C-alpha cells in the first residue's frame, strides 16, 4: 500500500468522504497561512473577510441568514451542538427534563448524544422506527411529540440506505406546535435542494467532506432566536456558541465547495443518478442480490446503491473487493474498531450481507463497469467457496487491510 496516495481504488465510497473539488483545494491552500480572523490588524481583517465570504456563500446556498451559520469541525460536532445545546438550553429555561423525539435511523452523531443525555438524566427520548425502506412516517413522529418535547431530530437523508425523510412536512407541522426541529443534512446536501427557511427547521448540520470540501469542517445552522447552550467556552467567536480561532482555510474551502456543489447539483443528480441506477440494475440480476431503501427515486438519494447479498460472509466480500481495488462500504458499524451490526439495518428489518456502493462527483462509467465486472466475478466465486484466484487483482492496488475487515466505520 502506498500511504502517500489518497485514492487509488475504483472509488465507490463517496458517502463516507468525497474528494475535494478543485476550487476547494485552491481556497484551502490560499487561506492556509491566514492570520487570526479575530485579530484587529489588516491581516486579521483579511482572514476575517475570507471567513465572512464563506458564511455568505453558505447562507446563500442554504437560504438562511449569514448570522445563523456557525462553523464547526464537522458533522459530528454540528449534530452534538444542536442536540445537546438545544436540550440543555431548554432544561435551563424550563427547569424540566426535556423530551427528545428521534429515529432509529440516525447517524451516531445524533443517536449517541441522545443516548448520552438520557443516560445522564438530562433528557428522556422516544425513538421512532422506520419502515422497511428506512423512511419514518411523519404521523408517527408527530404522535411521539409530548407536552415536554423540546426537540425533534430527524435526519434529512440516511447514510446507509439513502432514505430521504419528509422534512418539509415535518417542519411545518412542528412549527405549528412550537416544537424545535433539528435535521442532520450531512448526506443530503450534495443531492437535495436543502432550504432551511422553506423547510422551517430550527437547526441543521452539514459536513464539508460530503459535498466536495475538505475533511475537518462543518456547519451548524442555528436559527435566529434559538436558545443553544455552547459545548465549549472560550473566546466567544461565532455568537459565543462555538468559541475557537476560525479555521480560515477550511472555512473558505467549505464555502466555495458548497457554492459549486449547489450550482452543479441538478446536473450531478441526473448524471450520477443514471450511473447508480445502471450499477444497481446490473447487480440485481445476480441471484440473491437485492437493492434496499426506497424504490421511489424521489424518496432516496441518487448516489447510494445499498444491497443485501445472500450466502456470503461480509469479511470475505470486503477482502475480495480490496484485492480487486474496489473501495466500498459494508454499510455501517461503529467507529471504535469493534465489529457491530448496523442498528439502522436492524431497525428496517434488512437481512443479508450489506454492501453500500456510493457514487459522487468524480464517478465515471468506467467505475460502474469495473464494479460490475468485479462483483459478477466475486459473488458467485465466494458462494462456491473458491477464494482468491487473483485474476481480478492484476491491476489492483493490493491494499489489503486486515483491520478494515473487523472495523467498518459508520459514516
Chain positions contacting ligand PLP, by CB under 6 A? 74-76, 79, 107, 109, 155, 159, 184, 186-187, 207, 218, 411
Among 6, 26, 27, which residue's Cα sits nearest to residue 18? 6
Is 334 noted as a catalytic residue in this protein?
Answer: yes
Cβ 207 to ligand PLP shortest distance, Å? 3
φ and ψ at 15, to 5 degrees?
-70, -25
Among 118, 210, 117, which residue's Cα sits nearest to residue 155? 210
Given the residues 334, 339, 340, 372, the one annotated as active site = 334
Check residue 103 and report its DSSP letter.
E
Between residues 34 and 78, which has the closer beta carbon with respect to ligand PLP? 78
C-beta of residue 72 within 8 angstroms of C-beta of residue 242: yes
> Positive or negative, the Cα torsion across 120, 126, 128, 129?
positive
Between residues 149 and 156, which has the closer beta carbon with respect to ligand PLP? 156
C-beta of residue 15 within 8 angstroms of C-beta of residue 329: yes
**Measured at CB, which residue is nearest to ligand PLP?**
75
Between residues 183 and 374, which has the closer beta carbon with respect to ligand PLP? 183
Cβ-proximal residues to 106 (8 Å cutoff; 6+ apart), any chain: 114, 153, 154, 155, 184
Please report, for residues 128, 179, 186, the alpha-carbon distance to residue 248 in angstroms, rounded to integers and kept in the order given. Answer: 39, 35, 21
d(CA 248, CA 354): 39
Between residues 244 and 380, which has the closer beta carbon with respect to ligand PLP? 244
Cβ 241 to ligand PLP shortest distance, Å? 18
Between residues 217 and 319, which has the closer beta carbon with respect to ligand PLP? 217
Helix (H, G, I), strand (E, B) or coil at 169: helix
Catalytic amino acids? 334
Amino acid at each position: 500500500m502506498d500511504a502517500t496516495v489518497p485514492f487509488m481504488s475504483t472509488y465507490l465510497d463517496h458517502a463516507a468522504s468525497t474528494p475535494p473539488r478543485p476550487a476547494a483545494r485552491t481556497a484551502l491552500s490560499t487561506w492556509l497561512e491566514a492570520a487570526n480572523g479575530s485579530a484587529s490588524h489588516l491581516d486579521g481583517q483579511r482572514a476575517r473577510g475570507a471567513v465572512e465570504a464563506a458564511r455568505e456563500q453558505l447562507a446563500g446556498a442554504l437560504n438562511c441568514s449569514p448570522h445563523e451559520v456557525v462553523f464547526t469541525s464537522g458533522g459530528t460536532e454540528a449534530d452534538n451542538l444542536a442536540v445537546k445545546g438545544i436540550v440543555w438550553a431548554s432544561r435551563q429555561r424550563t427547569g424540566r427534563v426535556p423530551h427528545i423525539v428521534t429515529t432509529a435511523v440516525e447517524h451516531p452523531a445524533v443517536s449517541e448524544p441522545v443516548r448520552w443525555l438520557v443516560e445522564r438524566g438530562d433528557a428522556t427520548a422516544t425513538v421512532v422506527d422506520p419502515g422497511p425502506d428506512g423512511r419514518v412516517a411523519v404521523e408517527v413522529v408527530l404522535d411521539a411529540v409530548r407536552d415536554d418535547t423540546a426537540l425533534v431530530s430527524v435526519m434529512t437523508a440516511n447514510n446507509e440506505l439513502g432514505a430521504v425523510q419528509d422534512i418539509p412536512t415535518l417542519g411545518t407541522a412542528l412549527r405549528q406546535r412550537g416544537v424545535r426541529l433539528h435535521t442532520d443534512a450531512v448526506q443530503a446536501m450534495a443531492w437535495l435542494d436543502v432550504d432551511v427557511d422553506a423547510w422551517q427547521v430550527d437547526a441543521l448540520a452539514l459536513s464539508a467532506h460530503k459535498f466536495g470540501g475538505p475533511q475537518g469542517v462543518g456547519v451548524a445552522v442555528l436559527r435566529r432566536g434559538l436558545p443553544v447552550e455552547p459545548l465549549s467556552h472560550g473566546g466567544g467567536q461565532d455568537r459565543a456558541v462555538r468559541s475557537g480561532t476560525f479555521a480560515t482555510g477550511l472555512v473558505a474551502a467549505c464555502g466555495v465547495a458548497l457554492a459549486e456543489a449547489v450550482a452543479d447539483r441538478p446536473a450531478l443528480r441526473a448524471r450520477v443518478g443514471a450511473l447508480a441506477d445502471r450499477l444497481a440494475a446490473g447487480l440485481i440480476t445476480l441471484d440473491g442480490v437485492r437493492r434496499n431503501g426506497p424504490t421511489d427515486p424521489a424518496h432516496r438519494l441518487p448516489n447510494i446503491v445499498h444491497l443485501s447479498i445472500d450466502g456470503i460472509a461480509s469479511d470475505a466480500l470486503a477482502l475480495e473487493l480490496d484485492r480487486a481495488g474496489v473501495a466500498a462500504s459494508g454499510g455501517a458499524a461503529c467507529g471504535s474498531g469493534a465489529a457491530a451490526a448496523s442498528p439502522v439495518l436492524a431497525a428496517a428489518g434488512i437481512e443479508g450481507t450489506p454492501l453500500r456502493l456510493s457514487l459522487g462527483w468524480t464517478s465515471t462509467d468506467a467505475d460502474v463497469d469495473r464494479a460490475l465486472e468485479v462483483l459478477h466475478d466475486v459473488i458467485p466465486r465466494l458462494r462456491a467457496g473458491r477464494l482468491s484466484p487473483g485474476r481480478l487483482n492484476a491491476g489492483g492496488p493490493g491494499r489489503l487491510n486486515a483491520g478494515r475487515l473487523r472495523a467498518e466505520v459508520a459514516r
